[in-house]
C-alpha cells in the first residue's frame, strides 16, 4: 500500500512511478489554484488511478473518469476507489476508441503517457470543449532536446535544438504540436504553466474555441536562430530567417514564441505548494529564451561569477533580469546580447 498526498493506493499489477510524485503534487496545486466548480476530469492514462483520485480528494474535482487500456488496471483502480471511499467512472479502452465512441466532453483532461504524447493528441481533441484545461506530459526528452533530431521532425513536425536551450525549445515545440493539432478543430490555446523537471516536460493550457483563437495561436509560432557564439534571435516571419541566418547557425522550429505562464494562477499555486520550481517560475521573466552565464564567461575567458551579482548588475542598467527554471546558470533578460557581453567584459 502506497500513501501519497491524502490518498492510499494499491499498485499491484499496474505501473506506478514514485519519482513523479512531485509532478502530481504540482498538478494538484494547479487544480486547487484554478478552483473550477462542478468540473469533469478525464485521466486518460490512469494506471493505478492515483492522479484522478488525488484530484478528486485534494482538489475537489466533482466527477472523474479513469481511462486505461491495460485490463490489469481495472481491478486495481476499483480497489483504490474503494480504499479511498470515492466513486468514479472507470473505462478500460484505448484513447482512440474511447474518443470516437463517447459524446462526453471534459472540463479537464490529463494526458501523461509513457514517452511522447503526440500519438494521442488528435483523439484527445475530440473530448474537449471551450475552456477545457489540458495537461500534457512528454518524457521523450532525447527527441525534444535534439539528440534524436529526425524523430523530433517525424513526431512533432519541428526541428529541435541540441544546445543549452533545448529544454525550453522542447517545451515550445510541444506547445506548437498542441496548437497545430488543436487548430484543426478550431481551437487556440492559452498557456497557463509549463514545467521542465528531471526527464520530462509538462504543459498546462486552456483551450479556446473559435477560429480567431486558433489563428491567434498560429500567429505566435515562429523560429529560433541560434548562433555559434551562444547568441540567439527569433522571428515569427519565415521570410526573415534568411536575413538573420549566419554561417554555422542552427535553426529550430516551428515553435511557440509567446508566454508560457499565467502568473496569477502560479502566484495562487504558492498557497498550496512550497515547490522550489514553482517559486522560480513565479519570479521568472516570461519571455522566450535565456542566456547561459557559464558559457558566456567561458567564451570571454572570465572566471566564474555569482549569477545573483550579474542579475543585479543587469537590473542596475534598467533591464529586467531573473533566473529561469530551465537551467541553474540561465538568465532571462531583455538586455541584448551585445550589451550583456559589454557588461561582463567591463565589470568582470
42-89 residue pLDDT tens: 999 999 999 999 999 999 999 999 999 998 889 899 999 999 999 999
Q: Is the confidence at residue 143, as pLDDT, over 90? A: yes
7-46 residue pLDDT tens: 999 888 788 888 899 999 999 999 999 999 999 999 999 9
> What pTM does this model have?
0.97
- How much is the average pLDDT of 260-286? 98
How much is the mean pLDDT over the chain?
96
Q: What is the 3-class SS of the chain, one letter each residue? A: CEEECCEEECCCCCCCCHHHHHHHHHHHHHHHHHCCCCCEEEECCCCCCHHHHHHHHHCCCCEEEEEECCCCHHHHHHHHHHHCCCCCEEEECCHHHHHCCCCCCCCEEEECCCCCCHHHHHHHHHHCCCCCEEEEEECCHHHHCCCCHHHHHHHHCCECCCCCCHHHHHHHHHHHHHHHHHHCCCEEEEEEEEEEECCEEEEEEEEEECHHHHHHHHHCEEEEEECCCCCEEEECCHHHHHHHCCCCCEEEEEEECCCCCCHHHHHHHCCCCCCHHHHHHHHCCCCCCCEEHHHHHHHHCCCCCCHHHHHHHHHHCCCCEEEECCEEEEEEECCCHHHHHHHHHHHC
Largest CA distance in the chain: 67
Describe the crossing of helices 73-83 and 50-58 by its angle, rounded to 10 degrees: 20
- How much is the average pLDDT of 93-102? 98
Tell me what pLDDT residue 11 has.
87
The phi-psi region of residue 312 (left if phi > 0; otherwise alpha if psi is between -120 and 50; otherwise beta) is: alpha
Of the chain, the percentage scoring pLDDT greater than 90 comes to: 91
- How much is the average pLDDT of 243-262? 95
Band (347; pLDDT cuts 50, 70, 90)? confident
Closest CA to 108 of 162, 51, 170: 51
Tell me what pLDDT residue 111 has.
98
Buried b or exposed e, range 136-157, using 16+ CB within 10 angstroms: bbbbbbbbbbbebeebbeebbe
Band (310; pLDDT cuts 50, 70, 90)? very high
Domains of the chain in sequence order? 2-219+258-283 (3.40.50.150), 291-347 (3.30.56.70)
Tell me what pLDDT residue 18 has.
84
Q: Say how far apart CA 135 and CA 265 lie, in whole Å.
A: 14
153-205 residue pLDDT tens: 999 999 999 999 999 999 999 999 999 999 999 999 999 999 999 999 999 99
Q: Is the confidence at residue 348, as pLDDT, over 80? A: no
Tell me what pLDDT residue 250 has.
96
Tell me what pLDDT residue 329 has.
97
- State residue 239 phi and psi, 5-degree precision: -70, -20
Q: Is the confidence at residue 306, as pLDDT, over 80? A: yes
101-126 residue pLDDT tens: 999 999 999 999 999 999 999 999 99
Q: Yes or no: say if 234 and 289 are a contact pair by the CB < 8 Å rule.
A: yes
Amino acid at each position: 500500500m502506497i500513501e501519497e498526498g491524502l490518498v492510499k493506493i494499491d499498485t499491484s499489477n499496474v505501473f506506478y512511478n514514485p519519482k513523479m510524485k512531485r509532478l502530481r503534487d504540482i498538478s494538484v496545486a494547479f487544480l486547487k489554484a484554478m478552483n473550477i466548480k462542478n468540473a469533469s476530469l478525464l485521466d486518460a492514462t490512469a494506471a493505478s488511478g492515483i492522479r484522478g483520485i488525488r484530484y478528486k480528494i485534494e482538489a475537489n474535482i466533482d466527477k472523474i473518469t479513469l481511462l486505461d487500456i491495460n485490463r490489469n488496471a481495472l481491478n486495481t483502480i476499483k480497489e483504490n476507489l474503494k480504499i479511498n471511499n470515492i466513486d468514479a467512472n472507470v473505462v478500460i479502452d484505448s484513447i482512440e476508441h474511447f474518443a470516437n465512441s463517447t459524446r462526453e466532453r471534459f472540463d479537464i483532461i490529463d494526458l501523461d503517457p509513457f514517452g511522447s504524447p503526440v500519438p494521442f493528441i488528435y483523439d484527445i481533441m475530440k473530448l474537449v470543449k471551450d475552456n477545457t484545461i489540458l495537461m500534457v506530459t512528454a518524457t521523450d526528452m532525447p527527441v525534444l532536446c535534439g539528440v534524436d533530431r529526425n524523430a523530433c521532425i517525424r513526431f512533432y513536425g519541428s526541428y529541435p535544438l541540441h544546445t543549452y536551450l533545448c529544454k525550453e525549445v522542447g517545451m515550445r515545440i510541444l506547445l506548437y504540436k498542441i496548437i497545430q493539432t488543436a487548430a484543426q478543430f478550431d481551437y487556440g490555446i492559452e498557456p497557463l504553466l509549463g514545467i521542465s523537471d528531471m526527464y520530462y516536460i509538462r504543459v498546462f493550457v486552456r483551450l479556446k474555441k473559435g477560429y480567431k483563437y486558433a489563428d491567434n495561436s498560429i500567429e505566435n509560432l515562429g523560429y529560433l536562430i541560434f548562433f555559434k557564439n551562444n547568441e540567439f534571435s527569433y522571428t515569427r516571419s519565415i521570410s526573415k530567417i534568411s536575413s538573420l541566418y549566419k554561417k554555422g547557425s542552427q535553426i529550430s522550429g516551428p515553435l511557440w514564441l509567446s508566454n508560457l505562464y499565467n502568473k496569477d494562477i502560479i502566484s495562487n499555486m504558492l498557497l498550496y505548494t512550497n515547490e522550489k520550481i514553482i517559486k522560480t517560475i513565479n519570479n521568472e521573466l516570461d519571455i522566450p529564451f535565456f542566456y547561459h552565464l557559464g558559457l558566456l564567461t567561458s567564451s570571454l575567458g572570465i572566471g566564474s561569477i555569482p549569477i545573483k551579482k550579474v542579475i543585479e548588475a543587469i537590473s542596475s542598467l534598467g533591464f529586467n533580469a531573473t533566473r529561469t527554471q530551465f537551467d541553474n546558470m540561465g538568465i532571462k533578460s531583455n538586455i541584448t546580447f551585445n550589451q550583456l557581453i559589454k557588461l561582463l567584459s567591463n565589470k568582470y
